[in-house]
Amino acid sequence: MLSGLPWLDAALIGVLGLLIGSFLNVVIHRLPQMMERQWAAECAELSGKPAPEQEAFNLLVPRSRCPHCGHLIAWYENIPVISYLALRGRCADCKRPISARYPLVELVTGGLFYFCASQWGATPTALAWCAFSAALVALAMIDWDTTLLPDDVTLPLLWLGLVAAAMQWTPVSLSTAFWGAVAGYLSLWSVYWLFKIVTGKEGMGYGDFKLFAALGAWFGWPVLIPMILIASIIGAVVGIAMKFTTGLREGGYVPFGPFLAGAGFAALLLGPNTLRALVNL
């Protein structure tokens, strides 16, 4: 324990979640751009052309700034949730609106961290599930924005799930976690190729295979069917709703990663057994 008081420990870890959520906003915005820059450099190298000169751009530099006017954000303008409220959701310089998604990501991450600490206390188990939660939040938002599920997040999430099982931080054995990862990957891989052979089109990306494998590593193979059913049903409902509201992006597709992440959150919050009971498995 941190303080000796469970409720205070949970509150402190919840505050840590707010701070992590603020950092996740940076990850969500910058990681896809970092990937695109890397691809551009690799393409230039393969074609024999000099790599384009680019200023340093990563998760730490340059400093965050307003996308409208370029105003550099001071530390006191970057306090999770509080700064957004104090600025009334507007840039301190140009007064243009700041997306409400920034404080929402912070609040969701803080709430998930608080939940994990409330369930498992200030323990390695709680910290492992906090890491799981942070990774899913980042993946869901990145995939929704760009249809990308970066290996830099999915693969560490997969390996951490196996390590957590080996350390008994999750309710599944290492064997169940291992076969969960294998079954999670191969199931969506098989669906992908079957769909492609029948239609000639790609129904999902390889990142979805890796994310589902990671969920299998964290929850074990018995929970894969309930999770894929929940993700598919919610994804279909959202896709139909977006179709009728003309909210579909070019190509008429909806990324599947956010719904897989949603199924992962359902398994975390409700518990694997409850999730299986919901679908009568």
Residues 246-272 pLDDT 10s: 666 666 678 999 999 999 999 999 998
Q: What is the pLDDT of residue 67?
A: 86
Mean pLDDT (the chain) is 91
User: Per-residue DSSP letters for the chain?
Assistant: --SS-HHHHHHHHHHHHHHHHHHHHHHHHHHHHHHHHHHHHHHHHHTTPPPPP----SSSSS--B-TTT-PBPPGGG-STTHHHHHTTTB-TTT-PBPPTHHHHHHHHHHHHHHHHHHHH-SSHHHHHHHHHHHHHHHHHHHHHHHS---HHHHHHHHHHHHHHHHTT-SSS-HHHHHHHHHHHHHHHHHHHHHHHHHHSS--S-HHHHHHHHHHHHHH-GGGHHHHHHHHHHHHHHHHHHHHHTT---TTS---SHHHHHHHHHHHHHH-HHHHHHHTT-
Please give the structure tokens belonging to residue 132.
């799981």
CA distance 157 to 135: 7
pLDDT at position 86: 94
- pLDDT reported for residue 45: 80
Residue 51 has pLDDT above 70, yes or no: no
Residue-level pLDDT at 247: 64
Q: Measured between alpha carbons, how far is 98 from 102 in angstroms, rounded to an integer?
A: 8
pLDDT class for 41, splitting at 50, 70, 90?
A: confident
Q: Is the peptide bond before 62 cis (omega within 30 degrees of 0)?
A: yes
Higher pLDDT, 130 or 244: 130
Q: Looking at residues 43-60, what average pLDDT do you find?
A: 80
Is pLDDT larger for residue 197 or for residue 55? 197
In this prediction, residues 128-149 reach a mean pLDDT of 97
Give residue 105's pLDDT band: very low, low, confident or very high (50, 70, 90).
Answer: very high
Please check the confidence at residue 12 and state whether its pLDDT lies above 60: yes
pLDDT surpasses 60 at 128: yes
Contacts (Cβ under 8 Å, ≥6 apart) of 212? 184, 185, 187, 188, 224, 227, 228, 260
Residue 281 in this model has a pLDDT that exceeds 60: no
pLDDT value of position 242: 80
Q: How far apart are CA 240 and CA 246, in angstroms?
A: 10
